[in-house]
């Protein structure tokens, strides 16, 4: 079976890039895609082609790594979104005519992935990453997200088969797109996170956050919550993710200088370094106002780090209050503060430990092998659906 992935893959995170692609600014790492790619390498009956259109490529370039061919397509800058991604559609269509895939795997509605695949008339599996219609009802979207959100409903009405990670997402899509054949497939974190040898720092407690320092990621919620705990607990906070200076300045004016003396930032670090930080973390905090099934929370959960997170999306599928963490109401800094306080006084969580039985359950649920098996079955379902609906 030959499968083409589109329209996004973080090629700049791959080692040993061709000279033409070296020096690219790193975009979202989409680690779940690379985990799945690693799992698929061992399948002799599957051939992957990964198609990536971008405006920051110097020129179009095709190269091969470990049996997968990467098609990096240079697009004119500023015209992708402006053309409602019809330019991407045309360029990808040319490449797919050469590849001749059995199935197209459209990764998300971001960058109009599902919309592009729906215009091309190949057997298609759509994977929902974020659910932009839902996100837009909870927090303001940026310009590119708004366009992708605009295209999302029509592309899902056109689609036949889609995968979604969370129980919440499955129900959300089922209510709005009853024709869709839905497959629940969790995006597994890298196995390196399950293999971490934990040595939690507990004096002072080490709190870890991973994600862009933005309001929709709950940066304001975390800072306000921790500000109320400065006088009660000794702790350090490490925030891994891109900074937002305007938001940081606003929050500095609203919170104590003592809080900011306990905070450090890192940005653009590889998964192996995130794994090392999880190895010493006492708690992991995730405060996004809406998130389908955040990979950073999964990484912490399979690593065995107690998690305090927003009760949103798929997080309750693998964070169980009192067993491997606590949940709080979206956008509620006071509730967040209360749950962090409970964790820091919990017999196990305060020592960076979770129940072994719960950890085993979470690791099984978020297995990379299980993810690969389910996606491969999804490709076969998409191909069979195409054959059954083809004119005879």
pLDDT tens for each residue of 278-329: 999 999 999 999 999 999 999 999 999 999 999 999 999 999 999 999 999 9
Would you say residue 154 has pLDDT above 70? yes
pLDDT tens for each residue of 37-86: 999 998 989 999 999 999 999 999 999 999 999 999 999 988 999 999 99
pLDDT tens for each residue of 72-129: 999 998 899 999 999 999 999 999 999 999 999 999 999 999 999 999 989 999 999 9
pLDDT band per the 50, 70, 90 thresholds, residue 386: confident
pLDDT band per the 50, 70, 90 thresholds, residue 391: low
pLDDT tens for each residue of 184-230: 999 999 999 999 999 999 999 999 999 999 999 999 999 999 999 99
CA distances from 198 to 217, 285, 298, 305, 320 (A): 26, 17, 16, 8, 20
For residue 72, give the 3-state DSSP assignment: strand
pLDDT for 390 equals 67
User: Tokens representing 177?
Assistant: 């797109």
Would you say residue 392 has pLDDT above 90? no
Tell me the domains of the chain and their CATH numbers. Answer: 2-188+368-389 (3.40.50.2000), 192-365 (3.40.50.2000)
Cis-peptide, bond into residue 232, ω within 30° of zero: no
Secondary structure, 3-state, 181-192: EEEECCCCCCHH
pLDDT for 132 equals 96
- Contact present, 283 and 307 (Cβ < 8 Å): yes
pLDDT tens for each residue of 339-359: 999 999 999 999 999 999 999
CA distances from 112 to 151, 216, 354 (A): 7, 21, 40
Query: Which residues, other chains included, contact 113 with Cβ-Cβ below 8 Å and sequence gap of 6+?
Result: 6, 7, 8, 106, 107, 126
Number of separate helices (H) and strands (E) present in the chain: 14, 14
pLDDT band per the 50, 70, 90 thresholds, residue 175: very high
User: Tokens representing 227?
Assistant: 């500000």
Give which of 355, 310, 342 is closest to 329, Cα–Cα: 310
Residue with tokens 């053309």: 83
Q: Please spell the DSSP secondary structure of 234-266, one letter per residue.
A: -EEEEEES---HHHHHHHHHHS-HHHHHTEEEE
pLDDT tens for each residue of 235-283: 999 999 998 999 999 999 999 999 999 999 999 888 999 999 999 999 9
């Amino acid at each position: 079976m030959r499968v083409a992935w589109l329209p996004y893959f973080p090629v700049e995170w791959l080692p040993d890039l061709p000279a033409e692609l070296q020096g690219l600014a790193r975009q979202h790492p989409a680690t779940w895609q690379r985990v799945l790619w690693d799992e698929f390498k061992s399948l002799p009956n599957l051939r992957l082609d990964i198609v990536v259109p971008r405006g920051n490529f110097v020129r179009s370039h095709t190269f091969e790594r470990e049996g997968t061919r990467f098609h990096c397509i240079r697009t004119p800058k500023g015209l992708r979104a402006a053309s409602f991604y019809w330019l991407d559609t045309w360029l990808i269509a040319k490449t797919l005519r050469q590849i001749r895939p059995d199935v197209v795997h459209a990764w998300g509605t971001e960058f109009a992935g599902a919309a592009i695949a729906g215009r091309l008339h190949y057997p298609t599996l759509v994977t929902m990453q974020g659910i932009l219609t839902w996100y837009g009802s909870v927090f303001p979207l940026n310009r590119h997200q708004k366009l992708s959100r605009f295209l999302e409903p029509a592309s899902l009405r056109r689609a036949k088969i889609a995968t979604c990670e969370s129980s919440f997402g499955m129900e959300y899509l089922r209510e709005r797109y009853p024709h869709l054949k839905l497959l629940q497939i969790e995006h597994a974190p890298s196995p390196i996170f399950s293999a971490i040898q934990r040595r939690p720092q507990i004096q002072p407690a080490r709190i870890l956050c991973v994600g862009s320092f933005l309001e929709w990621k709950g940066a304001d919620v975390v800072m306000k919550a921790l500000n109320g705990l400065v006088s009660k607990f000794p702790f350090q906070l490490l925030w891994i993710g891109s900074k937002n200076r305007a938001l940081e300045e606003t929050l500095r004016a609203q919170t104590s200088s003592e809080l900011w003396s306990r905070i450090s930032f890192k940005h653009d670090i590889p998964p192996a370094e995130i794994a090392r930080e999880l190895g010493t973390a006492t708690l992991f905090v995730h405060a996004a106002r809406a998130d389908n099934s955040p990979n950073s929370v999964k990484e912490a959960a399979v690593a065995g780090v107690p998690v305090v997170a927003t009760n949103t999306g798929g997080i309750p599928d693998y964070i169980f209050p009192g067993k491997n963490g606590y949940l709080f109401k979206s956008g509620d800094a006071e509730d967040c503060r209360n749950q962090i306080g409970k964790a820091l006084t919990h017999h196990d969580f305060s020592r960076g430990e979770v129940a072994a039985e719960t950890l085993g359950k979470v690791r099984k649920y978020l297995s990379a092998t299980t993810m690969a098996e389910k996606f491969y079955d999804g490709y076969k379902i998409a191909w069979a659906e195409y054959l059954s609906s083809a004119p005879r």
